[in-house]
DNA sequence: GGGAATATTCCC
DNA sequence: GGGAATATTCCC
């Protein structure tokens, strides 16, 4: 099953199938050559498909068509959708047109599930994040130790500003309390980073 | 092609193939029943394989064996590897043994290995995390410089603004405000981690 | 022996 | 119509 260019096997087989006159009873170009028709779905699946593919299921054939971006052409009569059981099925693709086999190479198979909004994280980026978190942690420890220092000064120098008034003490306690809370948050953060990091090992 | 349990089609077909007496000329259990042999690779591929699979290639059969963790049994004679053109090929798997079809369900197909250094993450999430970390870092630096300022003020001016209620309040409010902002940023960051973590479940 | 693309199946 | 698992092909 050779292909002239790098067109996937499915597409060149499909092209042959639609072109071939001896299969026109089951699959052929539509009137204007802008789409193709499957005329007898049952017999097409059981008699024609296995001669070109490794199966005889219409569903698998349609799955491939969808993988390559073909769309079923919906027929509407008087505003209601046709639902004939054995009616012809029509498929269309902007690059699958009669007499223009040169367009085939523009048809691209859809790639597996990697969603467009998902990207792979580079180790470099992850290192940056972790490094950033570590720096925050170190800074925070410095602040804590400075606070601690201020606290001890109060003990040594009873007349210093820190203990001169009730208000000062309240103020200081408020700051210490908030810093403690921040520290807790930070621990959670660092922990989360550790978890994250371990997942990337 | 029904399967009794949830054993993949390939494994149940392989089991049948090895068990069936009418294919023993081409594929059968080894003497001790711990492995199986393919006796005439050429004819086996062209005559037997297409009756069970959608191809007639030994390479595709072996690819599947490898996907399920089977290993070729190497035959050594007098220290040199046998390289007979038409000699029997032997394959083995710890859970593929004569008379023990109950072990089959332990054989697992290999999944496409996502490289350890690469993981999927939404670019949007990554941006949020980095942005949040940077903001936390900047806010922290502000706090740190504020503390530094306080420390130097205290030494130079014992009776300074710290002892004066109005200005103390203003100062305190500023600090409290900054602390609150940092906590908020941190919450966002922790939330981002939760989102990220949930993607790894 | 296995990575990766395409093909087929199964299922929502 | 398409996600995802398995199967087949192609290639290193």
pLDDT tens track of chain B, all 201 residues?
334 568 999 999 999 999 999 999 999 999 999 999 999 999 999 999 999 999 999 999 999 999 999 999 988 765 655 555 668 999 999 999 999 999 999 999 998 765 544 555 666 666 777 777 777 788 788 777 877 777 777 666 555 445 556 666 676 777 777 767 777 767 666 666 655 555 443
Residues B183/B127, Cβ–Cβ less than 8 Å: no
The structure tokens 């902002």 sit at B181
Q: Which position has the token pair 């049952």? A: A42
Average pLDDT on A62-89 reads 82
Contact in structure between A107 and A68 (CB atoms under 8 Å)? yes
**Higher-pLDDT residue of A143, A182:** A143
Per-residue pLDDT band for A200 (boundaries 50, 70, 90) equals very low
pLDDT value at position B89? Answer: 95
Q: What is the nearest CA distance from A117 to chain B, expressed in angstroms?
A: 6
Phi and psi at B5, nearest 5°, equal -110, -150
pLDDT, tens digit, 9 for 90 and up, residues A118-137: 555 666 666 777 787 778 77
Contact B189 A186 (CB under 8 A): no
Residue, of A5 and B69, whose pLDDT is higher:
B69
Average pLDDT over chain A reads 80
Which tens digits make up the pLDDT trace of B69-108? Answer: 999 998 876 565 555 566 899 999 999 999 999 999 999 9
Calculate mean pLDDT across residues A14-43. Answer: 97
The per-residue pLDDT for A85 is 63
Is the separation of the CB atoms in B199 and B121 below 8 Å?
yes
Whether residues A150 and B148 touch (CB distance < 8 A) is answered with no
CATH 1.10.10.10 at B9-110, yes or no: yes
| Tally of CA atoms within 13 A in the half-sphere of B108 that contains its CB | 4
A57 touches strand D (CB under 7 A): no
Query: Per-residue pLDDT for A46 more than 90?
Result: yes
What residues contact residue B121 under an 8 Å CB cut-off, 6+ apart? A118, A119, A120, A121, B196, B199
Q: What residue ranges do the domains of chain A occupy?
A: 9-110, 123-157, 161-200
Expressed in percent and rounded to 5, the helix, strand and coil fractions of chain A are 55, 10, 35
Q: Where are the alpha helices (DSSP H) in chain A?
A: 9-19, 41-43, 49-52, 58-67, 123-156, 166-200
pLDDT of residue A102: 94
If you measure CA to C1', which residue is closest to nucleotide C3?
B112
Q: Do A128 and B126 touch (CB under 8 A)?
A: no
A27 vs chain B: nearest CA distance in angstroms?
Answer: 24
Distance B84 CA to D6 C1' (A): 33
Instruction: Tell if A31 CB is < 7 Å from nucleic strand D.
Output: no
Positions 108-127 in A, CB within 7 angstroms of strand D: 110, 113
Length of chain B: 201
Q: In terms of Cα–Cα distance, which of A9, B77, B37, A181 is closest to B28?
A: B37
pLDDT of amino acid A98: 97
Which residue reads 């199986």 in tokens? B36
Q: Where do runs of H (alpha helix) occur along chain B?
A: 9-19, 41-43, 49-52, 58-67, 123-156, 165-200
Closest CA-bearing residue to C1' of D1? A66
CA B84 to chain centre: 39
Nucleotides of D under 7 A from a protein CB: 1-11
Confidence tier at A166 by pLDDT (50, 70, 90): low
Quick check: A182 and B182 CB within 8 A?
A: yes
Position A79 confidence tier, pLDDT thresholds 50, 70, 90:
low
pTM for this structure? 0.65
The nearest CA of chain A is from the CA of B197 a distance in Å of: 7
Residue at minimum CA to C1' distance from nucleotide D7: B64
CB B151 within 8 A of CB A151: no
Contact B141 A139 (CB under 8 A): yes
Residue in B158, B163, B179 closest to A182 by CB: B179
pLDDT score recorded for residue B31: 95
Q: How many residues does chain A have?
A: 201
For residue B20, what pLDDT is reported? Answer: 96
- Residues 6+ positions from B50 with CB-CB distance below 8 Å: B56
Please give the pLDDT value at position B201. Answer: 39
* B38 or A190, greater pLDDT: B38
Q: What residues have CB less than 8 Å from B124, skipping those under 6 apart?
A: A117
Contact A89, A37 (CB under 8 A): yes
């Amino acid at each position: 099953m050779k292909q002239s260019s790098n067109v996937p096997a499915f597409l060149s087989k499909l092209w042959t199938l639609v072109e071939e006159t001896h299969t026109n009873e089951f699959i052929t170009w539509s009137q204007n050559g802008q789409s193709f028709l499957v005329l007898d779905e049952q017999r097409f699946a059981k008699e024609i498909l296995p001669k070109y593919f490794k199966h005889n299921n219409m569903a698998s054939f349609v799955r491939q068509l969808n993988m390559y971006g073909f769309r079923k052409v919906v027929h509407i009569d008087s505003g209601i959708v046709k639902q004939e059981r054995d009616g012809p099925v029509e498929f269309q693709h902007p690059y699958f047109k009669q007499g223009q086999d040169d367009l085939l190479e523009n048809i691209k198979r859809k790639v597996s599930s990697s969603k467009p909004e998902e990207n792979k994280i580079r180790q470099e980026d992850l290192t940056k994040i972790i490094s950033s978190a570590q720096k925050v942690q170190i800074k925070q420890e410095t602040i804590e130790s400075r606070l601690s220092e201020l606290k001890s000064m109060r003990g040594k120098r009873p007349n210093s500003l820190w203990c001169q008034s009730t208000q000062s003490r309240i103020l200081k306690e408020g700051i210490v309390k908030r810093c403690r809370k921040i520290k807790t948050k930070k621990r959670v953060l660092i922990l989360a980073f550790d978890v994250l990091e371990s997942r990337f090992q």
